[in-house]
Structure 1
Amino acid sequence: TKLVALCDVSGSMDLYSRFLLQFLYALQHSFARVETFVFSTKLVRITASLARDSYRTALDMLARSETGWSGGTKIGASIAKFVAGWPRLVDRRTVVIVLSDGWDTGEPETLGDALRVIHRRAGRVVWLNPLLGS
């Protein structure tokens, strides 16, 4: 089984982003087949950084990079970019985890279309929403 994580680091996720990245860092170091991406207004693959750097170094790199950390949210556009840019990462043996509160400033159709593609390709899709129930 392979794991692909797509983590929202936009402003509305500020309270949860560092914890979720620490969780993803632990996953990356506990399992062999993990791919990790973060997004706000754009999608950035961070697999290599999480694999080679300490958690603190990886977090500092992300804060300096152009991830749009703490910015707006374009979930649909980011997931659509993932679908188009990394189609071979997702197959029937892949679990895709989206970590997001679902607040999106983009078109709902873009998100729906991208998620339909992922659902068709992946073995399982899990959406973890830290605001669910609050």
Structure 2
Amino acid sequence: MPNQLPRIEIPKDEIEFDFIRASGPGGQNVNKVATAVQLRFNIRKSSFLPEDAKERLIQLAGQKVTDEGILILEAKRYRTQEQNRMDALNRLHALVQQALFSPKHRKPTKPTMTARAARRSAKQHRSQVKRWRRYIPQDWE
């Protein structure tokens, strides 16, 4: 990810948090307190993202995006709600930053004549090495 992109601000009204019970370590606390965070962000209805960035974000997020275009990130790495909330927000920011970066268009090129000649020469040399290793019964009798 390039360093020249500024840190973007996602409008708070476009992000929705649900707190759910996490699995894993935590003792009885895990069964009583909803510390895991489920962040929901509607990509298609987002007001600050350009259309091409929305498409890139949907591609980047993969299966974390529903058919309606809602990105769902679950954060349950930490034992507190606040830490998990910040983790989910940081992951969302990272994904959006990545989506805002437009990849450079690659111009298709062809190998140069010298490169083609070098490739053929290497193939012929390799072929010769294999020919030298070949087993010929007459040579062994």
TM bucket normalised to smaller: under 0.3
> Which structure would you say has the larger Rg?
2
Q: TM-score, normalised by structure 1?
A: 0.24
Relative contact order: is structure 1 or structure 2 higher (C-alpha 8 Å, sep ≥ 6)?
Answer: 1
- Judging by fraction of residues, say which structure has more strand: 1
